[in-house]
Amino acid sequence: MVSACKDGNPMLRDGQTGDWIGTFLGHKGAVWQAKLSDDARYAATASADFTAKVWDTRTGELLYILQHEHIVRAIAYPPGNSGMLATGGFEKKLRIFDLTEETPKAISDAEGSESTVTPVTISADRAFEIGAGSHTQPIKFIVWTAASEYIITASGDTLRWFYIPRRECIKTEKLDGEITSCELVSLDPRYSSPDDIGGGLPVLAVAAGRTVSFWGGQRADTQIKRFTLSHKAVSVGLDLRGKKFVVGEEPGTWAHVYRWDDATEIDVHKGHHGPIWSIAFSPDGNLYATASEDGTIKMWKNCDGLYGLWRGGAVAGERGSD
Q: Summarize pLDDT for 105-155 with one digit per residue, the tens.
A: 877 655 555 558 899 999 999 999 999 999 999 999 999 999 999 999 999
Q: Summarize pLDDT for 36-77 with one digit per residue, the tens.
A: 999 999 999 999 999 999 999 999 999 999 999 999 999 999
Q: Is the pLDDT of residue 317 over 70?
A: no
Whole-angstrom Cα distance, residue 7 to residue 297?
15
Residue ranges, CATH 2.130.10.10, the chain: 1-174, 180-322
Task: Please state, for a pLDDT cut of 90, what percent of the chain lies above it.
Answer: 88
> Could you tell me the pTM of the whole model?
0.92
How far lies 203's CA from each of 19, 24, 255, 305, in Å? 28, 30, 20, 27
Whole-angstrom Cα distance, residue 114 to residue 144?
37
Q: Which CATH class is domain 180-322?
A: mainly beta
At a CB cut-off of 8 Å and minimum separation 6, what does 274 contact? Answer: 253, 292, 293, 294, 295
Q: Which residue has the higher pLDDT, 234 or 308?
A: 234
Q: Summarize pLDDT for 275-306 with one digit per residue, the tens.
A: 999 999 999 999 999 999 999 999 999 998 88
Question: What is the dihedral sign for C-alpha 303, 307, 309, 312?
Answer: positive
> What is the second-level CATH architecture of the domain 1-174?
7 Propeller (2.130)
Q: Exposed/middle/buried for 65, CB within 10 Å: 0-12, 13-18, 19+?
A: middle
